Amino acid sequence: MTSIRGAITVEANTSEAILDASKELLCEIIAANGSKNGLRLDQIIDITFSATKDLDAVYPAAAARAMGITEAGLFCVQEMDVSNSLPKCIRIMAHVDIPEKKQSDMVHIYLRGADVLRPDLAKKKLAVAIDGPSGAGKSTIAKEVSAAAGIIYIDTGAMYRAVALHNIIAGTDIKDKEAVEKSLNHISIDIQHDDKKKQRLILNNSDVTEDLRTQKVAEGSSIVASYPAVRQKLVTLQQDLAKKYSVVMDGRDIGTVVLPHAQVKIYLDASLKERVHRRIHELELKGEPAEYDSVLQAIESRDERDMNRTHSPLLRAKDAHYIHSDGMTINEIANEILKEIQKI
């Protein structure tokens, strides 16, 4: 006996939507498993369905009965209400008897927004691109979304910061484009994740994650990010990561250049005033003194460079979902993005 897993998200808590989605999921599981013509219904021993708390209009198992699955044991349960979990979702576990197949031959099916639940099993990697200006809250939100969606978060700004840090330590003038571009031959960047899923940036075999968040490095990163050779190296690295893993990636050019085919693109914006306040709050939490005018000036000059450079400036992709986050809580923004993921 082997088991097959699957999940699908449902548009609405109506009998019709729940039955349609359950049927779609069962059909895909049947078609993808078994022999050439798919699974025979008499090979199904039992199916357990679970539904999130927001789905109670009908038992999903009714779809199996309607499809003629009459012999198998069917059972439905309601799931626990885990905060930030994928809403309106039906999960399935089916036990089947296919003597010629092993457990590792089973094809598990995750459809619509549910592919975020098991990106390792999903056929196509999921890419969520979040772009926006400095201080719009991208990294905070991207971390929330990646945790809720169960996929990894890639902070691309940290890579530009690492190039700046390397040059600052080496005493190179950051404004010397040729010197910075030459330094790329001596820079290796690797992204790792610790056991709390936090990104660690490894620069030439050293973990420099904690050294990237200074004002000097921020300023330098915005300058080196305008150099084409720097962008070329880092964009390739980012694209390679998105080929290997399902990702939430944030930056300035993710939806436009790095992952133009991302299934979900978000442009996260906030007013200059709000961004300055958030940055001051962030600095104060770290015990660093923050003066309104100097923070304002630093953000304005980064905006100016990031938005007006020749190569891959910060742009809102045509197909990006726009969120103006002034007055919104972290949860509200994350939920809006999770809803976009659910629509895929």
Q: Is residue 118 annotated as a catalytic residue, yes or no?
A: yes
Beta-ladder partners of 110: 7
Q: Which of 134, 183, 256, 342 binds ligand DC (CB under 6 A)?
A: 134
| 143 lines the binding site for ligand DC (CB under 6 A) | no
Q: Least distance to ligand DC from the beta carbon of 299, Å?
A: 10
Q: Least distance to ligand DC from the beta carbon of 157, Å?
A: 2
Contact 202, 153 (CB under 8 A): no
Cα 87 to Cα 13: distance, rounded to the nearest angstrom: 11
Residue among 76, 219, 282, 305 flagged as catalytic: 76
Q: Is residue 76 annotated as a catalytic residue, yes or no?
A: yes
Closest CA to 140 of 4, 337, 330: 330
Q: Is residue 252 annotated as a catalytic residue, yes or no?
A: no
Q: Is residue 65 annotated as a catalytic residue, yes or no?
A: yes
The interface region with ligand DC, picked from 11-19, 64-72, 104-112, 152-160 by CB under 6 A, is 152-160
Please say whether the dihedral angle defined by the alpha carbons of residues 135, 214, 222 and 294, taken in this order, is positive or negative.
Answer: positive
CA of 58: how far to CAs of 23, 29, 76, 90, in Å? 13, 21, 10, 12
Residue among 5, 200, 213, 316 flagged as catalytic: 5
Q: Is residue 79 annotated as a catalytic residue, yes or no?
A: yes
Residue among 11, 28, 79, 282 flagged as catalytic: 79
* H runs (alpha helix) in the chain: 15-32, 61-66, 138-149, 157-170, 177-183, 215-224, 228-244, 272-285, 292-308, 330-342
Q: How many residues bind ligand DC, per CB under 6 A?
A: 15
Cβ-based nearer residue to ligand DC, 87 or 132: 132
Q: Cα 333 from chain centroid?
A: 14
Cβ-based nearer residue to ligand DC, 108 or 138: 138
Q: Is residue 292 annotated as a catalytic residue, yes or no?
A: no
Q: Which of 156, 183, 209, 256 binds ligand DC (CB under 6 A)?
A: 156
- The structure tokens 């003194």 sit at 289
Q: Which of positions 219-278 make contact with ligand DC (CB under 6 A)?
A: 221-222, 225, 251-254
Cα 99 to Cα 335: distance, rounded to the nearest angstrom: 44
CA of 55: how far to CAs of 89, 263, 343, in Å? 8, 25, 17
Q: Which of 125, 302, 325, 340 binds ligand DC (CB under 6 A)?
A: 302
Q: Which of positions 10-49 make contact with ligand DC (CB under 6 A)?
A: none
Q: Which of 144, 269, 306, 340 binds ligand DC (CB under 6 A)?
A: 306
Active-site positions read 5, 65, 76, 79, 91, 110, 118
Q: Tell me which residues touch ligand DC (CB under 6 A).
A: 134, 156-157, 160-161, 218, 221-222, 225, 251-254, 302, 306
